[in-house]
Amino acid sequence: MRPDPVPPAFPTGFRWSAATAAFQIEGARGADGRGRSIWDDFVETPGLVRDGSTAEPGPDSYHRAADDVALLSELGVDRYRFSISWTRVRPGGGAVNPAGLDYYDRLVDALLEAGVTPFPTLYHWDLPAELEAEGGWLNRDTVSGFADYARSVADALGDRVKNWYTINEPVSTSLQGYAIGELAPGRQLLFESLPSVHHQLLAHGTAAGILHDHGAEQVGIVNNHTQVLPAREEDGTAAYLYDVLHNRVFAEPVLLGSYPDLAALGVDLPIRDGDLETIRTPCEFYGVNFYNPTTIRSAPQESPIPFEQVPTPGAAHTGFGALWPIVPGALTEFLVDAKQRYGDALPPVIVGENGASFPEPDHPDGRIDDTDRIAYLDGHIRAVADAIAQGVPVQEYTVWSLLDNFEWAEGFTQRFGLVHVDQVTSARTPKASYGWYRDLIAQVRTGAGQ
């Protein structure tokens, strides 16, 4: 289906962004003394990455950052969401590595010179392997290590970088990384994984204070959120419990200063005096990554967890399969529900990631007409406009991703980029969606959708 040529209306000053993450695009593992992360351990374990690939060379943005900046400049985005590698800056969680910091120093300067505001993420899953060996996010000491890392980055970049994400998708780290082992560090602790929730949120609040002390103007956390749908009327309790685990346990401590009731799950979090005040450190935005709704039904009685995810009836899906349904209106519903649930406690919202993977050739021969991606993005951007029209204070929309990249446990089998990347040569080829997004941004700015 072709998108409507008339773009939706957005408020004056609405911002447009594109995103990447360090481990997924940088390559150059040994270039500057970068240490090992939990993802190095994960990809080197046979059978954990779908195609057996590593992240090398991939887009090789460590050496091709100028190419990325040029793409961003032509795209016309206001800001670029990239992440900083903890293992480049403080290998092993130890002393500062000046060579690693220099890469980000150069990137920030290049973005500013191109008129693109740098909007880095401090943590996008690259925990130093040495810290994981000591318990990782299950260990409260990791919060102190993260504070040291945040301070080092703020000392180096805070004179020029004023906008920050602290932690990306703590739900993915906790539930997929520590609970069921689909992502690094590949542990399977089920509900015993949940102390990692508290420690990540505590690290967010601690880092937010440090960044503000260094002159930051806009700081926030970003979580992967989903609109939870019961498969049947009798699945309401299962859907409620899933909503608590995927959405509320991450949002409510940050926004309200308290956790939802976890008694039904038998969970006791390691909360100390003052922790919730730190987690609720005032921030200028709340980040929402959104890809799809989640349909939940009750699990069989013998299951160790009380719910299971099932395909959403009647919905098309992305290249990830039936559990990644395409339902743009679910984004509107989630945002409106959040505003109704949290009221004035909800600060301005930034959509920190939204995008879709679809099958594409590894080595393109000519133009890539990714019409499915264009339709997906158009629908979700219109869903954001609908949420704004209903009173949700969304200030920014971010496409995931600028580039095809190493897609975690899927390796190079899933492509989300506006720009195709040959994962062997690192050659970049803008897709049709790149031109579409560029033109949409220009049209909205000139008032074509008003």
Residue stretches of the annotated binding site for substrate: 24, 124, 168, 291, 400, 407-408
Contacts 24+ apart (CB under 8 A), 358-366: 358/318, 358/319, 358/415, 359/319, 359/415, 360/404, 360/415, 360/420, 360/431, 362/412, 362/422, 362/423, 362/424, 363/422, 363/424, 364/420, 364/422, 364/429
Residue 169 annotated in active site = yes
Query: ∠ at Cα 283 (335, 354), nearest 5°?
Result: 40
The DSSP result for 334-381, as a single string, is: HHHHHHHHHGGGS--EEEEE--------SS--S----HHHHHHHHHHH
On whether the CB atoms of residues 329 and 268 are closer than 8 A, the answer is no
In 10 A of CB 67, how many CB atoms?
17
**Helix, strand, or coil here: 126?**
coil
On whether the CB atoms of residues 384 and 351 are closer than 8 A, the answer is yes
Whether the CA torsion 12, 18, 22, 28 is positive or negative: it is negative
**DSSP secondary structure code for residue 448 in this structure:** T
Using only C-alpha atoms, what is the Rg of the chain? Answer: 21
Which residues have CB under 8 Å from 387's CB, separation 6+? 331, 332, 335, 336, 339, 394
Beta pairing class for 419-421 and 79-81: unpaired
Catalytic residue among 132, 169, 252, 396: 169
On whether the CB atoms of residues 300 and 307 are closer than 8 A, the answer is no
Whether the CA torsion 323, 327, 329, 332 is positive or negative: it is positive
Query: ∠ at Cα 257 (252, 260), nearest 5°?
Result: 45
Catalytic residue among 26, 132, 252, 353: 353
Beta pairing class for 79-81 and 15-19: parallel
Residue 353 annotated in active site = yes
On whether the CB atoms of residues 339 and 346 are closer than 8 A, the answer is yes
User: Which residue ranges make up the annotated binding site?
Assistant: 24, 124, 168, 291, 400, 407-408
The one-letter code for the residue type at 145 is G
Catalytic amino acids? Answer: 169, 353
